Amino acid sequence: MTLAPALPRTHAHRLGSSDAGPVPLRLVAFGSSTTEGSGSSGPAHTYPAVMRRTMLPYFAGGIALANRGIGGDTAIQMDVRIGAVIEERPDLVVWQTGSNDPLQEIPLAVFEHLTRDGIDRLRATGTDLVLVDQQYCRALDECPTSPSFLAALHRIAMDMDVPLFDRHARMLDWCAGSELTRDTLSPDGLHMADRGYALLGEALAVWLLDLA
């Protein structure tokens, strides 16, 4: 079930205005191993790279992508790195978060506080911002606190009116009635492989393009 609201068009003012002129859309993919591309066969097969390629024909000025994913990062490390993201003056930040925190036993209250603070800091710059939630995988399925972090991110998105791409629900849908399974999408039990990253990047691109 998708808990967060659909993205209001007012949230995409910079994304929507970047396809008309020669200036590149400055896109920062911010997150942990999913964003970095752990489990992929190379940089071209990460979800940010797939997302950029899918969106590129619709932006006359091109898309300048910065992949700011670091494997293993929790909300604590991301809080330290948000300043560097802000310095890049992005038009759009796609922030993937909430997977490592339950696995590393970060207190839920710390995750919530730092995520809300990070949203405030990013929004203060005028950038468009979307969130991406946890993956559907064995490691998180077996982590008893994982559902609390998933619900917390959805709650934050609703409270702060931040659009959220429900990756967890999408992955469940991809596995329903097809040859795909949880473990083919994430063979090592945590990280997605090329097939999963391709599906994620394409789905995110279509979702974002609808805003522009």
Beta carbons within 8 Å of 58's beta carbon, 6+ residues apart = 19, 209, 212
- Determine contact, residues 64/91, Cβ cutoff 8 Å: no
Question: In angstroms, rounded to a whole number, what is the distance separating the alpha carbons of residues 62 and 23?
Answer: 7
- Determine contact, residues 147/157, Cβ cutoff 8 Å: no
pLDDT of residue 3: 37
Q: Read off the pLDDT of residues 77-111 as tens digits, 9 standing for 90 and up.
A: 999 999 999 999 999 999 999 999 999 999 999 99
pLDDT of residue 4: 40
Token pair in block for residue 206: 């279509």
Predicted TM-score (pTM) above 0.85:
yes
Give pLDDT < 50 ranges for the chain.
Answer: 1-11, 19-20
Per CATH, the homologous superfamily of domain 13-209 is: SGNH hydrolase (3.40.50.1110)
Question: In angstroms, rounded to a whole number, what is the distance separating the alpha carbons of residues 139 and 38?
Answer: 15
pLDDT of residue 12: 53
pLDDT of residue 196: 95
In the chain, what are the domain boundaries? 13-209
pLDDT of residue 17: 56
Q: Read off the pLDDT of residues 104-115 as tens digits, 9 standing for 90 and up.
A: 999 999 999 999
pLDDT of residue 1: 32
- Determine contact, residues 40/197, Cβ cutoff 8 Å: yes
pLDDT of residue 198: 97
